Amino acid sequence: MAQDMAGAQSALEALRAAAARATTALGASMSAVSVWDRESGRLRVLVNHGELAAGEEEIPEDESYPVADFPEIVTFLDEHWSTGRLPRAWVQTAEDLTPGEHAGLTAHLHSDTGAFCRQRAAGLRRRGRTCCLVAPIVLHGQAWGELYLARGEGHPLFTDADAQYATLLAAQISAGLAQSERLADLRRLAFTDPLTGLANRRAVDARLESALAAHNRDNTVVSLVVCDVNGLKRINDQHGHEMGDRLLERFANQLSMAGAKLPGSLAARLGGDEFCLLAEGQKSDEVVAVAEELCARALQLADGEGVACGIASTGDSIGPVSTPDRLFRLADAAQYRAKAARAAHPVVAGRSHGPGLAPDPTVLLADAADPHHRADGRSRGGPGGRGVHGDRRRFRGAAHSADPGQLLTAVLGVLDHQGGGRASHPADTLGRLASVAETSARLLDAVAWWISYVPPGSQLMHTAQHAVYRMTKGPGTRGEGAVSPGAARRAENQRARIEAPDAVFDLDHYPLTGTAVRGGAFALRTGSVGNDPAEEAVLVVGGYKGMVAAGGANPAGGWLLELYADDATLPLGQIAPALRALVAVALSGPASPPPG
């Protein structure tokens, strides 16, 4: 059941797989999985499987029952909350008897629910079934729904052992549902920029591929607007990254409103201070007009300095466009010219401005940056093709990236590869977390990573594994100002104590870390207003400039993964949600404490 649910492409497919496995495991003639719809107060059937009665459908459109008819859901949860044990399954036969009158059956209901059990019995008789087995499903500590199994004529009644087994199957369904939720979050994160809520580069790549396929098939006009927010580094340096993030968010709102004027367009943040708008089916003049207005609005943003905007459209004289890379290079080249000229208006590839500028200098710049480009828009191919190096070359999707979508893709790819390509990740918890840490650190060019462990019931955290890729200077070390040799030694001793593999931290003194170990995430940058003093001390003493941490718990204990940054490391704050999701995936497999 666990394997089938993990391999499903959607939550509904996972429930279908669970129902099929449960039917086989318990020798039932049919099974169903229902959810408690709290808004309507009804128990809604999502999946039926097996020998279905008249009116029952495998995927019913509207099969639901008042939850008041099935009080056992709430009854069993009361027991779960008071004892901490899994809510137990119970058996009902088609005989008109109250619970507890069937020898050997597990009917853990209070006597005042007998009327409801008689309703269940009547329902069994109408459908030609002799008995049913109901196991409540609990998700995140709340009643989610139930697993229902039934047997027909000629089959033995369910036993107490069957009920115990069904309890475990319901718990496995709960775990599978939780994993489906995490995968849904991953899919959302994979195509969404967490800071602005816009699409990310991965979403742009997917849309641009299909848009250019339509262009080359039907000559549909495809336009790409690339914008670079001016002055972001100044704001970050003078006012802090929080102010810089607010500027990015405000511009993202303007870009989203601009996209609304081009139906079907996609507004996205490519990373850092770079955004784009992908339009399909609109005339290039319409796209340019929207971009003109966007540039004017960007100049009105508080603390901003406007944007450098470049446009490439197949509706202009830019030559054949057969690949997304060529359209991006053309838009990049136009944006580069806009930035170099400090232009307040968009620069459009293929539209020469001024006498003697044919062929268009923007197109020349883009093609010079691509050594494989030919005048007909196709790749030269082979070793005989020579390209001219231009003023600028853009490498999107390079080895180092702070794009959460690329981070998710890279790490999940590594985990699946290590598991033999079947989405079965490394067997031990620490191994899976180390794979997440190593791949993330490489993509972000981080200084170091640390994995820490908290035993069950403890508040003391110690290092389970770590890696340091390059050294940083701690306070008082050479180059950090004039201090006495004794002070430098004390600072280095303190740094060594914090970085020692056997260092132990009391989570009572580190509130952010304590929250992260319970399933949260956070990012810090030295010198930012509002930093927790204890958490920042770890950064300062280690000589680091920033960090991001994410954690969670599994039956083996609590875990924390930390990535540390220096001035060369890519921004860490925007990847915190993605790192949290990846840690959750790593913790969802078989649980094991660190060795030793």
Percentage of the chain lying above the pLDDT 70 cut: 76
CATH class of 201-368: alpha beta
Written as six digits, the tokens of 295 are: 């540039």
Right CATH number for 2-189 from 2.40.50.100, 3.40.47.10, 3.40.50.1000, 3.30.450.40? 3.30.450.40
Which CATH homologous superfamily contains domain 404-587? GAF domain (3.30.450.40)
Q: What is the pLDDT of residue 241?
A: 87
Q: Which element (helix H / strand E) includes 421?
A: none
- Average pLDDT over every residue of 456-469: 91
Beta bridge partners of 192: 199
Q: How many degrees, rounded to 5, is the angle at CA 593 between CA 588 and CA 596?
A: 155
Contact 465, 594 (CB under 8 A): yes
Q: At what angle do helices 232-239 and 241-260 cross, to 10 degrees?
A: 150
Do domains 2-189 and 404-587 share one topology? The answer is yes
- Average pLDDT over every residue of 246-261: 92
Q: 558 in helix, strand or coil?
A: strand
Location of structure tokens 């030694």: 489
**Chain CA centroid to CA 506, Å:** 30
Most confident of 58-67, 149-158, 383-392, 397-406: 149-158
CA-to-CA dists, residue 472 to 172, 479, 548, angstroms: 46, 11, 17
C-alpha span between 559 and 546 (Å, rounded): 20
Q: Where are the domains of the chain?
A: 2-189, 201-368, 404-587
183-232 pLDDT, tens digit per residue, is: 676 666 678 888 888 998 888 988 999 999 999 999 999 999 999 999 88
pLDDT at 339 over 70: yes
- Residue 175's identity, in one-letter code, is A
Q: At what angle do helices 361-368 and 324-340 cross, to 10 degrees?
A: 120
Q: Which residues contact 402 (CB under 8 A, 6 or more apart)?
A: 271, 272, 443, 444, 570, 571, 572, 574, 575
Of the candidate ranges 26-35, 389-398, 433-442, 545-554, the one whose mean pLDDT is the lowest: 389-398
C-alpha span between 108 and 80 (Å, rounded): 12
26-59 pLDDT, tens digit per residue, is: 999 999 999 887 767 788 899 999 999 888 899 9
Location of structure tokens 């197949």: 314
Q: Which residues contact 297 (CB under 8 A, 6 or more apart)?
A: 254, 258
Beta bridge partners of 150: 30, 132
- Greatest CA span in the chain, whole angstroms? 99
574-593 pLDDT, tens digit per residue, is: 888 889 888 887 887 788 99
C-alpha span between 383 and 495 (Å, rounded): 53
pTM greater than the 0.85 cutoff: no
Q: What is the pLDDT of residue 540?
A: 83
Written as six digits, the tokens of 437 are: 């840490």
310-337 pLDDT, tens digit per residue, is: 999 999 988 888 888 889 989 988 888 8
Q: What is the pLDDT of residue 419?
A: 45
